[in-house]
Structure 1
C-alpha cells in the first residue's frame, strides 16, 4: 500500500507508461501518434490535464466528459463507451460519439452474450481490435452488434478498482488503425486511473440519488384538486456537484372550502436539511389541521426550528385562501411575498417586509391580507427560482413579472372550465416559468421551488347565513331556515340529517357559549354547516355514562357528518360539519 503522498499502483503504471513514451521520444523512435513530433507533446499535456480533471470529477458524467475531452483527441479517437457490470449485465453509464440506437442495443446486454467484453473482464487484459473484420473473425456471435456499430477500430480496456473488474472503457475509431506498444501501454494505464475515478463518482451518484429520492418522498406526490383551488408545482434540486436542499411546498384543504398554501426553504444543503424540511412540512400540516390563527401557527413553527439548534433556519410563506370572503391572508418569515396575477393579466407583487426567518424571529408575526378577484393566480416561489449567478433577486422577480403578464397566461389558464384542462394549463405555465428563469439548470447552485394556484371564489348563491338569538328559540329558527334553504337547493334528502346537526350545534351554543350566534350554509362538493358564537371554549366529545342525561351531542354530530371540527377567530369560534351530497 502506498504511503502518504506516494503514488498508488495505478498511478505508478501511468508514470511508467509516460516514462516509456518519453524514453522512446528521446531515443529517436517514432512518435506514438501521427508523424508530427508535436502530437506526442500534446498527448503528454492531455494526460496531465486528464489526471487533474479526474481528481476534480464528482459525478459519473464528470468522468465521461473528462475522458472524452482529454483522451479521445490525442489518440485520434471519436467514440467512447463506459459499461459497468451489474447483476451479470452490462449497463451503459456514459458514452460519447455513438448514436442512441446503438447504445440502446448495448445497454443491459448479458455479459455472456458479449464475447469481447467477457474475455476482457475475465482475463483483466485489454483487447485491441484494428478493424471490424477482426471482430467478425474472432467473435462471430457479435455479428449483429458489429454491423450496427459505426466504428472500425476498438480498444476494450478493463476498469479495475478495489481489486475487481468493475466494467469496461471502450475507446473507438471511425477508421481502421493499428496500435503501437506504447499506445497500448498508455491506454491500459489510463483505464486503471479512469476506473478508480468512476468508482468514486458512482458512489457519489448513488448517495446523491438516494438523498434526492428521500427529499422527493417528503414532498407531496400529487396536489389535491379542490373546489377553490387547482394547482401545479415544480421542485428543481440544485445543479451538479451540490447536495440536496430543503425547499418544500404543499396545498392543504381546510374547512369551508378554504385552502392553505405553503412554500418554504430550509437554509443549507444536505441530508440534515432535507430531514428538517420533512419535519417542518409535517408540522405545518398538523398545525393547519388545528386551524389556528396564522401568527400563532408561525410562532409554533419558530419554536420548532429554534429547538433544532442555532445552525438551523428556514424561510416560509403560509397563506390561507377564503373563497367566500375572496381574500388571501398570509404570513412571511424571511420569504418573498406571493405574486398575484389578475384575470386581466395584470401582475401585483405586494410591497411588504417579511419577518425574520424561522429560528431567528421573535414573535409576534405580522399578518397580511389580499383581496382576490375570482379566477386569479397566486404564484409562490423560493429564492432559488429568481436568484442566480447572473442576476439578483430583484432582476429575477422583474423577469418573473414579465413572464406572468403575457397574454397567453390570461387566455390559457383563466378560461379553462374543465379541471383537467385547467391543471394542464398550470403545468405548462410552470414549465414556461422554470425554463425562462432557469434555462441552464445544470449550472444552478440552489434548489428552486414553484407553486402556482388558480383560485376560484364561491358563487354568491351557494352561501347563505342567518343571525340567531341567544335563547331557546334559536334551534327552531335554525331548523326552519335549513328546511327552506335545502329545498331551494334541491337537497331535500339532507333535510332531516342537517336539522339534527344544526339543532344540536345551536343548542350547545345557547347553553354553553355567548353572543353573537350565526348559522351559515355552504353548498360545494359537500354541504357545509357552520355555527358561529362569541366564545373561545373548545368543544370536545365526552364519554357519557349510561345514567348521564346529556353529553352525547357531539357524538351524534360525529356520527351524522363526514367530518366536523372547530376553527378559532379573533372574536370567537366556528363549529362546522360536512356532509356528502346525494348522488345526482
Structure 2
C-alpha cells in the first residue's frame, strides 16, 4: 500500500511539474534554444524550471530556477514563480529589478505558509536578457549557479557573475552584469542537480559540463543529450535537473534603420517619406500603409508630449517588423477610448488595432514606445 501510494503521489507530482513547464520553446530571431528536464530518481519531483520569453525589440529573456524542496508543494510554487517571471518580463524590467520583485513574492509566500521561519519557501533563479541587435546580454542571479558560455572559437567557461542571495532572504540587493556575445555563442543555463552529486565535487561536475559543451555537435538537442549522458551516465539524478541551451543569433545591420528626429511637428511628413523609402529598399512595400500610420502617430506623440532627443528605429526579420520611438521622458502613454466630441485620444487605439502588439519599456535614458507588425511571407 505504501509503495502504491508513493507511486501515485510521484506520478501526480510529475504530471503537475511537466504541465507547468513549457511544452515547447518559442522560435525567436535572437536565439535557437533546446532544453531538457530530468526528475529526481528517489527524493521526489522538485521545483526546477526553465523558460524562454520573447520580449519587445526582437530581444529574448531566458530563465532557469530551482525551488527548495520536493513534492507537489515545490511544483506548485514553481508554477507561481514561473508565472510571476513571465508577468514581470512583460513589463521589461532589468534582470536585477525582476529578481528584486521575485524575492518579494517568495517572502510573501513564506509568510503565507504559516511558518514564522523566514525562508521556509525559498528558491534560486538566473535571469538573462539577450538583444540580437547590439549582441549584448544582461543577466543576474539569485543564489543560482552561473551559466557556462561556449564562444564560437574558444573554450567553454563559466561566466563571472555576481552571486546574489537566494530568493526569500529579503532586503538584499541583486547585481547584474552585461557581456557581448558573438553570433553563434552557446549559453548554458542549468540547475545545481546537473553538476552536484554525493559522489562528485561540484568543480569536477562543472569541468565535465564544460567538456561536454565544448565537444562538436550537430545540434543543440544532441548537445543536451551528450551533457546528460556525460554528467548523469546512469540516466537518473539525486536531484531535479533542468538544462537550457541557447545559441545566439545576430541581426544584420541591414535589417535595422535608425533616425534622430528633431522636435518639430513640421518634420513628421519628411520622416514618413524616409520610412517609406526604407521599406522599399527592404522589399516591404505591402506594409507601407500601416507603418506610415504607426510612425506618424508615435513620432507625433513623442514630439508633443515627450522630451528630446527623439529617435525612431525600424527592425525587421522574415516575419516581423517593429517600429520603436524613444525619447527622454519617463511618462508612458495609456490607451483610452475617446468620446465622440474629443479632438484627440484615438491615435494609440488606432495603433493597437493595426498592429499585433504594442507597448512601452522604460530605460535609464527615458522610454521607448514600440509596435509590432506581422509580415506576410510571399510564396
**TM tier, shorter chain?**
over 0.9
| Larger of the two Rg values belongs to structure | 1
Separation (CA, whole Å) in 2 of partners of 1:325 and 1:460: 10
Separation (CA, whole Å) in 1 of partners of 2:376 and 2:48: 41
Separation (CA, whole Å) in 2 of partners of 1:353 and 1:583: 44
Contact 1:318 1:330 in 2 (8 A): yes
Contact 2:10 2:71 in 1 (8 A): no
Corresponding residue for residue 168 of structure 1: none
Matching of residues 34-183 of structure 1 within 5 Å: none
Check if 1:398 corresponds to 2:227: no
2:275 maps to which of 474, 479, 482: 482
Provide structure 2 residue ranges, at least 5 long, that are not aligned to the other structure.
111-117
Deviation at 1:361, TM superposition (A): 4.2
Corresponding residue for residue 506 of structure 1: 299
1:367 maps to which of 155, 163, 176: 176
Corresponding residue for residue 273 of structure 1: 74
Separation (CA, whole Å) in 1 of partners of 2:267 and 2:157: 44
Contact 2:150 2:157 in 1 (8 A): yes
Check if 1:210 corresponds to 2:12: yes
Corresponding residue for residue 527 of structure 1: 321
Corresponding residue for residue 228 of structure 2: 434
Contact 2:36 2:242 in 1 (8 A): yes
Deviation at 1:557, TM superposition (A): 0.5
Corresponding residue for residue 321 of structure 1: 130
Separation (CA, whole Å) in 2 of partners of 1:474 and 1:313: 54
Deviation at 1:583, TM superposition (A): 3.0
Distance 1:579 1:479, change over 3 A: same
Corresponding residue for residue 166 of structure 2: 357
Deviation at 1:555, TM superposition (A): 0.3
Separation (CA, whole Å) in 1 of partners of 2:309 and 2:172: 30
Separation (CA, whole Å) in 2 of partners of 1:580 and 1:252: 18
1:250 maps to which of 31, 47, 51: 51
Contact 2:359 2:370 in 1 (8 A): yes
Check if 1:472 corresponds to 2:265: yes
Deviation at 1:549, TM superposition (A): 0.3
Higher helix share: 1
2:65 maps to which of 264, 278, 282: 264
Corresponding residue for residue 343 of structure 2: 549
Corresponding residue for residue 305 of structure 1: 106
2:245 maps to which of 452, 460, 463: 452
- Residues 422-473 of structure 1, C-alpha deviation per residue, up to 9 Å, x if partnerless? xxx111111110011011244x321111000111110111011011111213
Separation (CA, whole Å) in 2 of partners of 1:540 and 1:353: 36
Separation (CA, whole Å) in 2 of partners of 1:537 and 1:283: 24
Contact 2:29 2:132 in 1 (8 A): no
Separation (CA, whole Å) in 2 of partners of 1:268 and 1:583: 48
2:25 maps to which of 212, 223, 231: 223
- Over aligned residue pairs, what C-alpha RMSD do you find? 1.2
Number of aligned residue pairs: give it: 369
Secondary structure of 2:13's match? helix
Provide structure 1 residue ranges, at least 5 long, that are not aligned to the other structure.
1-198, 413-424
Contact 2:107 2:170 in 1 (8 A): no
- Residues 469-518 of structure 1, C-alpha deviation per residue, up to 9 Å, x if partnerless? 11213422320221110010111111121111011001101111101100
Secondary structure of 2:349's match? helix
Contact 1:474 1:506 in 2 (8 A): no
Deviation at 1:343, TM superposition (A): 1.2
Deviation at 1:338, TM superposition (A): 1.4
Separation (CA, whole Å) in 1 of partners of 2:172 and 2:289: 47
TM-score by length of 2: 0.95
Deviation at 1:287, TM superposition (A): 0.8
Deviation at 1:355, TM superposition (A): 0.4
Separation (CA, whole Å) in 2 of partners of 1:520 and 1:206: 55
2:363 maps to which of 548, 565, 569: 569
Contact 1:517 1:531 in 2 (8 A): yes
Secondary structure of 2:194's match? helix
Secondary structure of 1:375's match? coil
Check if 1:494 corresponds to 2:287: yes
Corresponding residue for residue 114 of structure 2: none
Deviation at 1:297, TM superposition (A): 1.3
Check if 1:336 corresponds to 2:145: yes
Separation (CA, whole Å) in 2 of partners of 1:271 and 1:560: 44
Secondary structure of 1:579's match? strand
- Residues 149-202 of structure 1, C-alpha deviation per residue, up to 9 Å, x if partnerless? xxxxxxxxxxxxxxxxxxxxxxxxxxxxxxxxxxxxxxxxxxxxxxxxxx3312
Deviation at 1:264, TM superposition (A): 0.3
Distance 1:430 1:480, change over 3 A: same
Corresponding residue for residue 239 of structure 1: 41
